[in-house]
Amino acid sequence: FSSVPHRLGFGSANPTGKIPLGLKRKGLRIVVTGGAGFVGSHLVDRLIARGDSVIVVDNFFTGRKENVMHHFGNPNFELIRHDVVEPLLLEVDQIYHLACPASPVHYKFNPTNVVGTLNMLGLAKRVGARFLLTSTSEVYGDPLQHPQKETYWGNVNPIGVRSCYDEGKRTAETLTMDYHRGAGVEVRIARIFNTYGPRMCIDDGRVVSNFVAQALRKEPLTVYGDGKQTRSFQYVSDLVEGLMRLMEGEHIGPFNLGNPGEFTMLELAEVVQETIDPDAKIEFRPNTEDDPHKRKPDISRAKELLGWEPKVALRKGLPLMVSDFRQRIFGDHKEGSN
Ligand code: NAD
Ligand code: UDP
Ligand code: UDP
């Protein structure tokens, strides 16, 4: 070990190293790396509500204590400030590995995806925990197949500005499969498509959070390029349901988890205008390098093997995010909630 690791937990690891998944279990010990972040904190809410004991491991790079503060004082909840690039000793049954600098402004030059994933796989191997990796649709790069199936190998520039994230997650998938084949670790891989909802970072540059914050602040919506590039936007509760089904199910994946509803950025801007402010202006900006032209998940595999599909359409989910953003931007006292 390169540093003195934490040794925390609820007791000894499952002696068999395996959990009888067919049985109804109570009180699993689950670590959620990145659990103070946007997706992670919603996952933690569901796990705690189900009666599990949850340890959140987060270095607060983009996550916030506020996202999990409502669990403070609950004996089934523990929060550890820790960078997963450093080794970590815990005794747990399941690992949801979400820690990752997830947006373009944060992810450059960070070894989390490779070293952090390696450490969490080493942990899973040692204690016999099941390990779920949250990979990304970015592994498909600028896809030449549309919509993208899990069998598609992708079209990624290895030396571009986004490569650190794309290739980092591709490497994380490789490590995950190697630990499965080589060390018998039980693994699951989710490829997550663009997800939005309450608790998203307000200023991390992603398109939904940018447009919503801009419309609320009466600033123009910044559309990059010609705005004809497409993305498919999934509401966070649908994603969390998919992640939990994947973890509990018998299939390794990878599974695409995303909403197949596809929108151009101009269409998204229109939905934001409809939802928040019909008078919001649109301002065109130069696009970033290597921006994927289109992206839409083929979710047949998840439908068939996990019995999962998204339920919340963009026009239903967006207002839920808007009221959260309104509160965080203006505080409770200003403007009504949406
Ligand atoms: P987020 O930034 O809100 O959450 C990531 C969390 O990881 C944060 O709390 C951050 O502080 C923590 N973290 C980062 N580096 C860490 C480190 N070295 N050690 C410990 N903690 C660390 O992002 P999110 O949207 O919630 O993303 C969660 C996961 O889902 C990520 O792995 C991301 O790649 C994946 N994903 C998200 C989307 C999306 O649209 N939100 C799409 C594809 C994949
Ligand atoms: N690791 C960890 N927690 C553990 C077990 C391992 O953080 O409980 C880290 C360990 O520091 C190593 C990585 O996981 O860097 C891979 O561990 P593994 O045992 O697979 O490899 P080795 O240490 O044998 O190279
Ligand atoms: N985008 C935009 N305006 C913004 C931020 C992003 O038009 O203010 C575009 C961006 O160029 C990309 C799409 O929206 O084509 C999605 O960007 P995001 O960073 O949200 O997700 P990703 O590119 O990782 O799918």
Residue 252 burial (10 A CB sphere; 0-12, 13-18, 19+): middle
Q: How far is CA 74 from CA 37, 47, 192, 281, in A?
A: 19, 13, 30, 45
Averaged pLDDT of the chain: 90
How many other C-beta atoms can be found within 10 angstroms of the C-beta atom of residue 157?
Answer: 14
**Tokens read off for 209:** 């959070």
* pTM (2 d.p.): 0.92
- Closest by CA to 45, choosing from 326, 244, 181, is 244
- Predicted local confidence at residue 290, as pLDDT: 82
- Predicted local confidence at residue 103, as pLDDT: 60
Instruction: Read off the pLDDT of each residue in 188-216 and give the average, rounded to a whole number.
Output: 96
- What is the whole-number distance in angstroms between the Cα of residue 285 and the centre of ligand 3? 11
- The answer, yes or no, to whether any atom of ligand 2 lies below 6 A from the CB of 118, is yes
Does 1 score more than 70 pLDDT?
no
- Spot the catalytic one: 96, 107, 140, 165: 165
Q: Is 165 a residue of the active site?
A: yes
Confidence tier at 175 by pLDDT (50, 70, 90): very high
- What is the whole-number distance in angstroms between the Cα of residue 195 and the centre of ligand 3? 12
Instruction: Read off the pLDDT of each residue in 54-62 and give the average, rounded to a whole number.
Output: 95
Does 88 score more than 90 pLDDT?
yes
ipTM given for this complex: 0.97
Which of 93, 97, 125, 180 has most ligand 2 atoms within 8 Å of its beta carbon, as the pocket-test mutant? 125
- The answer, yes or no, to whether any atom of ligand 2 lies below 6 A from the CB of 123, is yes
Closest-lying ligand to the alpha carbon of 239?
1
- What is the whole-number distance in angstroms between the Cα of residue 76 and the centre of ligand 1? 22
